[in-house]
Structure 1
Amino acid sequence: MTEKRLKRKKLHNKLFNKNRLVVLNEDTFEEKFSLKLNLMNVFVVASLGAILLILITTLIIAFTPLREFIPGYSSTKLKKEATELALKSDSLAIALKKNEAYIHAIQKVLTGELEYAKFNKDSILKDQTQSVEVLKLTASEEELALRKQVNKQEQNSTLQKSKR
């Protein structure tokens, strides 16, 4: 026999050689239980146990609030509060700008830089509103060519479906 075959046979014998595990009472030497095992069975059971343990741990962390303790994950409550605070801060910033414009206009009236007759709160706020730029929203030549190509493909596919 070749050397590789001998090594395989030895490994096979080691893996499938039956051994007995006995648990005894130390005082009376009474046998509590015994198991007939081989190395392959022990390896398979240990591997399945490890996989099962990893799977259960992953499921517990993924579907319970424990994931909040992992760095990088934040709670849904925290995300919701952050969004609400961002919206509030934006609205407060806009209100602050309006109030500053109003106060600045009142200061002009009080110092005499502006006549009282021309002073109106709505006109002040209208001057402070930001104008939105009008964007050019026309399609480019490449987009038009792509649209034509997609339309042709859709027509071909509807024709093929109607023929069936």
Structure 2
Amino acid sequence: MSVFVSLSLGAIFLISITTVLIAFTPLREFIPGYSSSQLKRDATVLALKSDSLSIALKKNEAYIKSIQKVLNGDLEYAKFNKDSILSSADEAAEPIDLSASEKEKELRERVSKEEYTQRSSSKGKSLNSKK
């Protein structure tokens, strides 16, 4: 009996030490699905930089297009102002209409009716199976 108890305590001790070692040290990075906190920080920083670079690229493209209009003579120089060009590039984002269309409303209604009939038929089956 003492051998069984000592082996059980030894196994529990080894499991707990292994769990603590993996949970609180960088060893958890070797487990699939866990990534390092440094990698997460770097990904966040790169995502923010790419967003700001894409915005700057859009502004530069709008500025270059306006300069081309001036050089081609399509736009008078008096109307050419960098600030107005950049502000028009910022306002280019149109609001998106997220309201449901009639087809979507009909589909939602049909799905809810089907779910209701499935639930009511499954309740009836479960009541009949209990009898």
Q: What TM-score results when the alignment is normalised by the length of structure 2?
A: 0.68
SS in 1 for 2:9: helix
Structure with bigger gyration radius: 1
* Shift in CA distance, 84/133, structure 1 to aligned 2, threshold 3 Å: same
2: distance between equivalents of 1:60 and 1:51? 14
Superposed displacement of residue 103, structure 1: 0.4
Corresponding position: 1:97 with 2:58: yes
Superposed displacement of residue 132, structure 1: 8.1
Superposed displacement of residue 133, structure 1: 8.5
Give the aligned CA root-mean-square deviation in angstroms.
1.7
Of 16, 21, 28, 1:60 maps to 21
2: distance between equivalents of 1:131 and 1:101? 10
Deviations 1:60-83 (A, max 9, x none): 000111011111111111111111
Q: Which amino acid in structure 2 is aligned with residue 125 of structure 1? A: L
Greater RCO (CA < 8 Å, at least 6 residues apart) = 2
Q: What TM-score results when the alignment is normalised by the length of structure 1?
A: 0.54
User: Which residue number corresponds to residue 141 of structure 1?
Assistant: none
Q: Percent identity?
A: 74
Of 17, 28, 36, 1:75 maps to 36
2: distance between equivalents of 1:61 and 1:69? 9
> Once superposed, which parts of structure 1, at least 4 consecutive aligned residues long, lie more than 3 Å away?
131-134
Q: Which amino acid in structure 1 is aligned with residue 42 of structure 2? A: E
Compare the two structures and name the one with the higher helix fraction.
2
Q: Which amino acid in structure 1 is aligned with residue 84 of structure 2? A: S
Compare the two structures and name the one with the higher strand fraction.
1
SS in 2 for 1:73: coil
Q: Which amino acid in structure 2 is aligned with residue 61 of structure 1? A: I
User: Which residue number corresponds to residue 41 of structure 1?
Assistant: 2
2: distance between equivalents of 1:130 and 1:61? 51
